[in-house]
Amino acid sequence: MRGHVPGHLRVEFEEYLDYWYCKCEEPDLGDMSINHLLGKLWNCTDILPSRYCGALDIPQGSSYAKAVRKFKEQLEAAE
pLDDT of the residue at 75: 85
pLDDT tens for residues 28-75? 888 889 999 999 999 999 999 999 999 899 999 999 999 999 999 988
pTM for the model stands at 0.87
Report domain extents, the chain: 2-78
Angle made by CA atoms 41, 42, 48, in degrees to the nearest 5:
55
Please, which pLDDT band fits residue 2 given cuts at 50, 70 and 90?
A: low
pLDDT of the residue at 79: 75
pLDDT of the residue at 43: 95
